[in-house]
């Protein structure tokens, strides 16, 4: 079978991963690439490698697509370009694999969905966790009812990022870039993988859960960014309640974490990026720790493009629910509040306490001096959310 002819947009940063796998996979032929800033120092090495493979490089995505015949496009740009580029590709009849998050604003994702459905096109998002064998196994356990009725999902991302991390790119940590909402905060960027997996586990249906309401709090601690590096949200998923916590302010590396707890009427499951531990009432707990293939999402995408009968790992219709949740969170918070490092000196302990008690930060005793509660937002009205105005920064 002939390989799928694909183009790549964005060769630096996460584009380096996509560039490598597209070059190495036998089922993909990388026939063109586009990089808006090829002369920037951090991109020069990547650009030279692309050229050494004999792949033509363009600075404009649309010029590339006018010149080169392709079947599918990978979009690995800063995420404020995901929506515009994906919509343009779909209008040209091309399949799309897009980096996370699928879009910043939900209305762009809905437009992508309409185009994909009307033209029978595949759109998959690079949420690789959803296709990991232990994620698939846990979803099967939930759908089968082995945990009983779902009660709550708790997710925690506790990481560390330096000030230098937030000055690595002109859009990093910003709320707007290139005239578009980018909202490069911990929820939209680092934690969105886990948020998507939390929604995957948030229903006994063979779909992802969709939030009905969202309540959130957003804080900025690092001096060099505009968006949140500390946030939490509570979402009504219908079958269960989601409590989610994320920060890049946990300086103690030994206390960094990325995990989910799923509680049901018959048991409890714990998930991290490599394994699950499942405790079902009356049975011995078991651990499932399989090998995980980061590249499997590409094989899954190629199979879909070819029309093979495979279950999509991260289809647009499910992945956009993370964007809907995030739009609800930003609309709820209303403010990205500046707080000092002294206020969050015990941030790892705060994450432990809030997540164990299923509380927002403002509901934990001792946070009264800096924490606040956002309003509860009905997500059904979020198709008109375009990003918060700049004057809401405090």
Q: What is the CATH number of the domain that holds 364?
A: 3.30.360.10
Contact 98, 374 (CB under 8 A): no
Mean pLDDT over residues 141-147, rounded? 98
The pLDDT score that the predictor gives to residue 393 is 37
- What domain range includes position 31? 4-128
Mean pLDDT over residues 127-147, rounded? 97
Mean pLDDT over residues 189-209, rounded? 98
Q: Kindly state the DSSP code that residue 226 receives in the 8-state scheme.
A: S
Question: What is d(CA 321, CA 195) in angstroms, rounded to the nearest whole number?
Answer: 10
* 92, 180: one domain: no
pLDDT in tens, 286-303: 999 999 998 999 999 999
* 121, 137: one domain: no
Residue finishing a domain among 69, 103, 128: 128
Q: In terms of Cα–Cα distance, which of 369, 54, 379, 337 is closest to 215? A: 379
**pLDDT beyond 50 at 391:** no
Backbone angles phi, psi at 158, to 5 degrees: -120, 100
Contact 379, 212 (CB under 8 A): yes
Q: Where are the alpha helices (DSSP H) in the chain?
A: 15-24, 41-52, 61-67, 82-91, 106-119, 133-143, 192-200, 296-305, 316-333, 347-357
Question: What is d(CA 134, CA 258) in angstroms, rounded to the nearest whole number?
Answer: 15
- Compute the mean pLDDT over every residue in the chain, rounded to the nearest whole number: 94
Longest dimension (CA), the chain: 63
The model's pTM: 0.96
Question: What is d(CA 216, CA 199) in angstroms, rounded to the nearest whole number?
Answer: 16
Structural domain includes residue 87: yes
Total domain count, the chain: 2
Backbone angles phi, psi at 107, to 5 degrees: -65, -30
Residue 39 neighbours by CB distance under 10 Å: 9
Residue finishing a domain among 92, 109, 128: 128
* 88, 142: one domain: no
- Residue 70: CB partners within 8 Å, gap ≥ 6? 5, 6, 7, 31, 32, 94
Which residue is it, tokens 């939930």?
Answer: 142
Residue finishing a domain among 128, 145, 178: 128
**pLDDT beyond 90 at 388:** no
């Amino acid at each position: 079978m002939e390989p799928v002819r694909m183009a790549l947009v964005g060769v630096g940063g996460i584009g380096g991963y996509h560039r490598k796998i597209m070059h190495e996979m036998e089922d993909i032929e990388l026939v063109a690439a586009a990089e808006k800033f090829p002369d920037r120092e951090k991109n020069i090495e990547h650009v030279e490698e692309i050229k050494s493979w004999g792949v033509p490089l363009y600075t404009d995505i649309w010029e590339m697509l006018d010149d080169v015949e392709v079947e599918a496009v990978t979009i690995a740009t800063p995420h404020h370009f995901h929506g515009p580029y994906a919509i343009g590709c779909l209008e040209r009849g091309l399949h799309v694999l897009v980096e996370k998050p699928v879009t910043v604003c939900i209305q762009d994702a809905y437009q992508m969905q309409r185009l994909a459905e009307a033209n029978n096109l595949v759109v998959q998002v690079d949420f690789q966790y959803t296709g990991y064998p232990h994620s698939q196994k846990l979803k099967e356990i939930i759908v089968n009812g082995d945990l009983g009725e779902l009660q709550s999902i708790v997710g925690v991302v506790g990481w560390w990022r330096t000030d230098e991390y937030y000055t690595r790119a002109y859009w990093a940590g910003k709320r707007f870039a290139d005239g578009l909402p980018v909202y490069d905060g911990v929820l939209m960027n680092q934690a969105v993988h886990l948020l998507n997996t939390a929604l995957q586990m948030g229903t006994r249906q063979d779909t992802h859960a969709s939030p009905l309401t969202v309540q959130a709090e957003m804080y900025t601690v690092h001096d060099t960014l505009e968006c949140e590096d500390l946030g939490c949200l509570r979402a009504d998923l219908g079958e269960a309640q989601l409590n989610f916590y994320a920060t890049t302010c946990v300086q103690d590396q030994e206390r960094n974490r990325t995990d989910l707890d799923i509680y049901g009427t018959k048991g409890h499951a714990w998930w991290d990026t490599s394994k699950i531990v499942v405790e079902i009432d009356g049975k011995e707990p078991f651990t499932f720790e399989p090998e995980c293939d980061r590249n499997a999402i590409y094989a899954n995408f190629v199979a879909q493009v070819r029309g093979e009968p495979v279950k999509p790992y991260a289809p647009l219709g499910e992945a956009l629910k993370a964007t809907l949740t995030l739009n609800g969170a930003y609309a709820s918070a209303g403010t990205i509040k500046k707080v000092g490092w002294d206020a969050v000196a015990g941030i790892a302990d705060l994450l432990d306490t809030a997540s164990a008690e299923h509380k927002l930060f403002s509901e934990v005793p001792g946070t009264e001096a800096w924490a606040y509660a956002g309003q509860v937002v009905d997500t059904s009205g979020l198709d008109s959310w375009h990003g918060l105005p700049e004057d809401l920064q405090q």
